Structure 1
Amino acid sequence: MTRQKRDYLWVVAFAVLVVFAVPWFLWGDSRIVAGLPLWLWWHIGWMGVASATFYAFTRGAWDRGMGVTRG
């Protein structure tokens, strides 16, 4: 995969993180799961997804974007 294609994929990944960070589709939903509102569970799960994405970014693309070479 070319560098430019990888860069575009990272842009798309972060755009998806931003778009789904706020669960608009759960507003007004009063369902409770394990004592907490469903929208709060969405937020907790989404923070896990965001953390995994940021971790993958730091392992692969961060050094290139900062002008640092490995090793």
Structure 2
Amino acid sequence: MDRSRRDLTWIFTFVILVAFAVPWFLWGTGTVIAGLPVWLWWHIGWLGLCSVVFYLFTRTAWNRGMGLDPGRQENGDRR
């Protein structure tokens, strides 16, 4: 996958994560599962998913636009 396509994929992924962060489709639902409202379970699951996606982002694309070489290890030596 080339760089621009990978960048667009990450942008689209984060737009989806933000768009569904608020469970608007659950507004007005009074359903309770295991003593907690279903919208709270949505947030718990969604935050877990966001954590996994952010972890993947830091492992694959964190250095985007920062001018870093992912193969070079920084140990305080700035030559």
How many residue pairs were aligned?
A: 71
Whole-Å Cα distance in 2 between the matches of residues 56 and 65 of structure 1? 17
Q: Any idea what SS the aligned residue of 1:21 has?
A: coil
Structure 1 unaligned blocks of 5 or more: none
TM-score under structure 1 normalisation?
0.94
Which of structures 1 and 2 has the bigger CA Rg?
2
Give the deviation of 1:63 after TM superposition.
1.6
Whole-Å Cα distance in 1 between the matches of residues 6 and 31 of structure 2? 39
Give the deviation of 1:4 after TM superposition.
0.4
TM-score under structure 2 normalisation?
0.85
- Of residues 9-18 and 58-67 in structure 1, the stretch that sits farther from structure 2 once superposed is 58-67
Give % identity.
59
Q: CA RMSD in A?
A: 0.8
The code of the aligned residue for 2:42 comes to: W
Structure 2 unaligned blocks of 5 or more: 73-79
Larger helix proportion of the pair: 1
